[in-house]
Structure 1
Amino acid sequence: MSGVARSEAMPGDAARAWLIDRCREHRLSPAQRRVAQFLADTMPDAAFLSTSEAAARAGVSQPSVTRFAATLGFASYADFREQVREIALGSGERAVRVLPAGGPDAVDEAQATLDRVRPVLRSEALAGAVEALVDSETWAFLGLRASTAIARYGAYFAARIHDDVRVVIEADTLLDRITVLAASERRSTLVVVAMPRYPAATVAALRHAAALGLTTVLVVDDPYVDFAAEATHVLTAPVGTGLVFDTHTAPLLLLSALIDGVAAADPHRTQERLEAHEVLVDTWQYRP
């Protein structure tokens, strides 16, 4: 920005300078240099990306991003990102971050994730997942850790239009539950929600389901994760990373759209089921 006087450093300048100096102290691989260049070019926004997002945008694998942080001396990418955030926010101390001026806006970021999920809502991938559920007698929603609430959300509304909906959220019984599901004479589909950080048990469950020939729908933030190939259908919904914890606006919308697609496939049956539930509303709804 030649010819423009600046009385103070722009957001991200301190973090960019710190990153460059830190990288000069270490021998980086070509992939790690790509990560460093990407992070330096996109400060301060880069300070709020997950490993999967940083990898996708830098054009490298997720392990390359993790190894990059380790090469710089950090125990994890999360520790590296926290350090960058503190510097980008202009304080060497740990600070409470409340939408600082010049930093990512949480609402704008949520809108960006919705914009990225919009094409999925009109995709053949979603149509295939809808068809799988329509053809199934049993639906199971699997989610661990951060994905538990998302799986519960999908199962709650799915049960309003379908007779046999199950929730699988206990890591120690995942494989047993999937084995029973696959052995049943009922046609079944397993909906697997996998958001960062991906639990090893979730990946193991998905691979177990694939080995048993069970139809699976994977709802994941990154279509390039190595375990996506194990799923029958893959639906991508990015997470927001601008706040302390990831936000799941897009995954929740995608699950709602998935259930809506199944409901639309048999509107008469859907209407009958919804009317049956509506009769019960007066028994639980609060009225002042």
Structure 2
Amino acid sequence: MREETGVNGLARRIRESYGQFTPAESQIADLLLASPELMLGFTATELAARAGVSKPTVTRFVGRLGLSSFQEFRERARSNHVPEPGSPLDLLARALDVTGGDLGVLVTESLRRDIDNLERTYLGLDSEQLDVLVDLLVDAPRVAFADFRKQYALAYYAGTLFNSIRPDVRVLPAPGTSAEDGLLDLGAGDLAVLFPFRRAQRDHEITARAVVDRGATLVSIGDRHPNHADALATIHLVCESGGVGLFDSLVAPMSIINLLFTATANRLGEPAQERLADLERQHRTFGTFVRESSGRSASGREAMWLQ
């Protein structure tokens, strides 16, 4: 059997060997031929679970291909594959290099990396920049938190927090619109915050330029990767986001959002307290939250609407 490397080479070998497989091994072959990218990232355990077979069946399957182990199978799959830097496939390959697919190692490394991300992010904060940003969050007539794809979660989280302590907060893009639609009312004195991480997106450049063109202040909370938004921003807070996952770790930016929220609430003082109190009254009026009545057994507890 000739030497085959790369995903395409192994797929060819699987097709050539198909007649030798048992029914269970054929399930693995069918899965990998339908989704060849699984050769790059799955462990033997994960592949067995996805194919609905046992792990020993996976071992026999790669042996049927003339390979000594599943590790050799995966190394050959990845030998000619060069994923785009920063892509999920690239990050997955790096993660597997660190963890070897071991869940215990993944847990330990994830914790270690996130603690390191938080520490480096906070040590790198510029106190003067932070002070200016809090003033902007207090004084800007309108504040917009915007981003796209997975970073939209950061914009949404920030928007829900800040809306509870000050008026005229929006999250962009709103469903069914573009970010530019939401920028129509932004002007001089207003503030827009973007969260660019990892690969630069065309949406970041378009939105950043639109914010600046309208005379609003642009702030970027992102990583160290080059991005048009960072270049146009008045303030760029750097958040470390390295990890062992398929995507960036967003622990540090989430923490920075919480920090800015608390600092802004403190600086707003009474207006923030009044808005929070009004929000609590609304919760009581509409029975937003429930609590358990006292004196009930675990099996007989009843939910009581907060009054």
Q: TM-score per shorter chain, which class?
A: 0.5 to 0.7
Q: d(CA) in 2 for partners of 1:100 and 1:226?
A: 36
* Greater Cα radius of gyration, structure 1 or 2: 2
The whole-number CA distance in structure 1 between the counterparts of 2:259 and 2:97 is 40
Give the counterpart of 1:252 among 223, 237, 254: 254
CA spacing shift, 1:125–1:268, aligned 2, 3 Å: same
Identity level (%): 23
Matched residue, 1:127: 131
Unpaired stretches in structure 1, ≥5 consecutive residues: 1-71, 91-95
Alignment of 1:16-27 (within 5 A): none
Residue of structure 2 in register with 1:74 after alignment: 82
Structure 2 counterpart of 1:254, which letter?
A: I
Q: Which residue of 1 aligns with 2:167?
A: 163
Question: Within the alignment, does 1:150 sit opposite 2:154 as a pair?
Answer: yes
Aligned partners of 1:120 and 1:126 also within 8 Å: no
| 8 Å contact kept, 2:189–2:215 | no
Structure 2 unaligned blocks of 5 or more: 1-79, 293-307
**Distance in 2 of aligned mates of 1:262 and 1:84:** 38
* 2:192–2:219 CA contact under 8 A, matched in 1: yes
CA distance in 2, matches of 1:162, 1:123: 23
In structure 1, distance between residues paired with 2:97 and 2:203: 35
Cα distance, 1:202–1:235 mapped onto 2, change above 3 Å = same
How many angstroms does 1:225 deviate by? 3.9
What corresponds to 1:262 in structure 2? 264
TM-score in terms of structure 2 length: 0.60
Corresponding letter in the other structure for 1:259: F
Could you state the TM-score of these two structures normalised by the residue count of structure 1? 0.64
Q: Cα 1:135–1:85, aligned 2, differ >3 Å: closer, same or farther? A: closer
8 A Cα contact 1:210 1:216, kept in partner: yes
Query: Aligned pair count?
Result: 208
- Measure, in 1, the Cα distance between the counterparts of 2:237 and 2:259: 11
1:182-239, CA deviations, whole angstroms, 9 ceiling, x for partnerless residues?
3xxx841111111223322122201221222211111111275454120111111121
Letter in 2 for 1:158: F
Residue 218 of structure 2 is aligned to residue 216 of structure 1: yes
**After alignment, is 170-179 or 208-217 more displaced?**
170-179
